[in-house]
Amino acid sequence: MTMSRLISTAIALVLALLPSLASAENSSAIVHETARPIKSGDGRVASFWWLPQEYWEQVARELAIPAEEQEKVRVAFRDYLLVAALESKLDAAQKPTYASIAEIVDRAAFYRNGKKLEVLREVNPEVARLTASLVYLLRASLSGLGEGLRVLPLANVDSKGNPILAGAAPGELRLEYRFDDSGPVHPVMWRAPFTAIAGTTKCPKGGEELEASWAYCPWHGVKLGERP
């Protein structure tokens, strides 16, 4: 088995073990829905997760951190978009090596609702402190690959200080990633709301349960939120 296939299989197995969206309203369901894996032609594999505000609040509840700490998560994390990233490759000894946060930042271009964003160098100290502990669940779910997980902070406030994107409201985050300066762009897209957060919607004509971010029923062509 090639190095590329080995590491691709490892990430695929991790994702397959996570609960399905329909069966669990928990942090694992959000991770499953927001996972975006990509791979290069030389054996490198990368995965990205947009972990919205609701994810961090859910993790805080699952870890049963003190109420005052949960309130800090609710308030402080609204100012940021946090994207977890992992780029890895197996070396000659079949051990994974990981891209640094600086390397990943250099290769990534983020766009929030079409507007380009820069990865922040500094964040609220409370956010940095809490992220380091709350990311434990995602890191643990990745088993041995978890040590290569990086968290990239992006700004998420408008001119009035209000949050722009959330997992339960319409909006989009786009990533363009290059493994090398001269390599092809790998586009990655997240469209909210996420079903794991907002729940399913229903076709007003046929009653089928549909993903929260869908604008139209794919079977009836009916615009969701409007009567046929």
Q: Which residue has the higher pLDDT, 41 or 137?
A: 137
Q: What is the mean pLDDT of the chain?
A: 85
pLDDT (0 to 100) of residue 218: 74
Q: Summarize the confidence of residues 31-48 as an average pLDDT.
A: 93
Burial 164-200 (b: 16+ CB within 10 A, else e): bbbbeeebebbbebebeeeeeebebebebbbbbbbee
Question: Would the pTM of this model clear 0.85, i.e. be above it?
Answer: no
pLDDT (0 to 100) of residue 223: 72
Q: Kindly indicate the confidence band of residue 123, based on its pLDDT and cuts at 50, 70 and 90.
A: very high
- For residue 55, which phi and psi values (nearest 5 degrees)? -65, -50
